[in-house]
Structure 1
Amino acid sequence: NHISEHNGVFSKGTVKGVTTDMVSCLREMLVAGNKVIIDGLGSFSISLSSVGAESMEKFTASNIKSVNLVFKPAEELQDLIKDATFTQVSSRKAQAAVLAAEKKGEGTVDIDAAKNS
């Protein structure tokens, strides 16, 4: 939605289609052992976690326990703190307690009790 609202040329459906195809292609390339670089976004690669074997000959695919996605952000995404602004907000527990109280028609909330629940 956000992307389609920024650029009137591409509809929400077009953006969704492109990103769906991108994810499919990204998966295909990663499984094939390729590193994928998307300019302005970053690079994607995989790493494997495995258990050892007595020798190379005894190492098989069953030794591989997980395939992990490795993402390295592009330079444009590495130093976000310089552009970010921060606003203090209530904790999630306090927000949930306020919402629950509003739904019940209650006018007060015990914040300390909410934080400790």
Structure 2
Amino acid sequence: MTDTFLSFLENYPQREEFCDVERTREAWAGAIRRARPETIIAAAENYRKAREGQPARYTMSARRWLSEGRWRDFERPDTPPAQLLWIAYGSREWDAWTRYRGKTPPLDRRGGWRFPSRLPPMIQAAE
């Protein structure tokens, strides 16, 4: 394992479930092609701080967090932890998040998903 991958694992919040290190390492390899390791590690630490005091079972798996590029939601340490907003599938906001993340988010039972803001950062800046 590389030092940066180990540092990521040390900074990522703990879950109740076992971490599949091999699959997480594969997701790490993909993630560091899209962002600097230091950026992802810092975002993992910010995510850990945001999760403090919350049930560990609701912490996203490290593999999924990496493969979905969720570090983008936690890159800035000076930003307070985001309160997630529920957005309906097919809405303008849903479509904006789908384009921003490069794939369709999962759907919950209500037909939507939770996001850190109404619109992705690049669109918020343009408004």
TM-score by length of 1: 0.24
Higher normalized strand content (fraction of residues): 1
Q: Which has the larger radius of gyration?
A: 1
TM-score by length of 2: 0.22
More contact order relative to length (CA 8 Å, sep ≥ 6): 2
